[in-house]
Amino acid sequence: MSSTSDILSRLHGVVRSLEEMRREISDDLVKPVGATSISAQDRAQLSNLHRRISAALAELSAEERHM
């Protein structure tokens, strides 16, 4: 496998992992506050993490299109 193919393969794996993580965080964030043991502080951190993962995925998707 060429170096470029290996990099692209690993990039696809990273993107899939980040998408799954974002889905899991989304699932936690859509639960009503009383229905979960997530504190307001943890909810804020998860929301920030979700935003950052989404931004990273957008950048990675753009990078994939250019390769």
pLDDT digit string, tens, across residues 3-45: 888 988 898 899 999 999 999 999 988 877 666 678 888 889 9
For residues 60 and 14, the answer to whether their CB atoms sit within 8 Å is yes
Q: What is the pLDDT of residue 7?
A: 85
Per-residue tokens: 5 = 């193919």
Q: What is the pLDDT of residue 1?
A: 54
pTM summary value: 0.78
Task: Kindly tell me if the per-residue pLDDT of 54 is higher than 60.
Answer: yes
Per-residue tokens: 36 = 């979960």
Q: Most distant CA pair in the chain: distance in Å?
A: 51
- Which residues lie closer than 8 Å to 57 by C-beta, 6 or more apart? 15, 18, 19, 22
Q: What is the pLDDT of residue 33?
A: 66
Confidence band for 47, pLDDT divided at 50, 70 and 90: very high
For residues 18 and 57, the answer to whether their CB atoms sit within 8 Å is yes
